Amino acid sequence: MCPPSRHWSPGGGAVYRSSFQQVLAKTSEAGSKTDCYMAWPLKSLLILVLLLLVSFGLIDGRNSIWGKKSSVTPNEPEDDEMDVIRFGAILPHTSLITVSRSYNKKITDSLDMLTKGRNAKFNFAKYKRYLKPLIVPLPLDPSPTVVLNALCNQMLPANVTAILYLTNAEVYGSNAASAQYLLQLTGYLGIPVIAWNADNIGLEKFPKSWVMCLCPEGDEGGSLSDNHPEVRVLDVSKSWRLPQSQVLQLAPSVEHQSSAMLSILRRYSWHKFAIVTSQIGGHDDFVRAIRDQILTIVDFKFTIMDIYTLKVRDPDEARAEMLELTTSEARVFLLYCNRQEAMYIMRAANELDLTGKNYIWIVTQSVVGPAFDNTPPPPDFPPGLLGIHFNTTMNRLMEEIERSVKIFVHGLELFLDDPQNHNISLAPSLNCTANNDIKWSKGEHFFKYLRNGFKRGKGGGCRN
pLDDT in tens, 42-99: 556 556 655 655 455 444 444 443 333 333 334 454 445 678 899 999 999 888 888 8
Query: In whole numbers, what is the pLDDT of the chain averaged over residues?
Result: 76
3-state secondary structure the chain: CCCCCEEECCCCCEEECCHHHHHHHHCCCCCCHHHHHCCHHHHHHHHHHHHHHHHCCCCCCCCCCCCCCCCCCCCCCCCCCCEEEEEEEEEECCCCHHHHHHHHHHHHHHHHHHHCCCCCCCCCHHHCEEEEEEEEEECCCCCHHHHHHHHHHHHHHHCEEEEEEEECCCCCCHHHHHHHHHHHHHHHHCCCEEEEEHHHHHCCCCCCCEEEEECCCCCCCEEECCCCCCEEEEECCCCCCCCCCCEEECCCCHHHHHHHHHHHHHHCCCCEEEEEECCCCCHHHHHHHHHHHHHHCCCCCCEEEEEEECCCCCHHHHHHHHHHHHHCCCCEEEEECCHHHHHHHHHHHHHCCCCCCCCEEEECHHHHCCCCCCCCCCCCCCCCCEECCCCCCHHHHHHHHHHHHHHHHHHHHHHHHCHHHCCCCCCCCCCCCCCCCCCCCCHHHHHHHHHHHHHCCCCCCCCC
Average pLDDT score over residue span 348-364: 95
- pLDDT over 70, % of the chain: 66
Question: What's the pLDDT score for residue 330?
Answer: 96
pLDDT higher than threshold 90 for residue 433:
no
pLDDT in tens, 179-194: 778 888 898 899 999 9
Segment among 16-25, 136-145, 303-312, 346-355 with least mean pLDDT: 16-25
- Phi (first) and psi of residue 135, to 5 degrees: -95, 125
> Which of 14, 16, 23, 61 lies closest to 43, judged by CA?
23
Question: What's the pLDDT score for residue 124?
Answer: 76
- Predicted TM-score (pTM) of this structure: 0.70
Question: What's the pLDDT score for residue 118?
Answer: 67
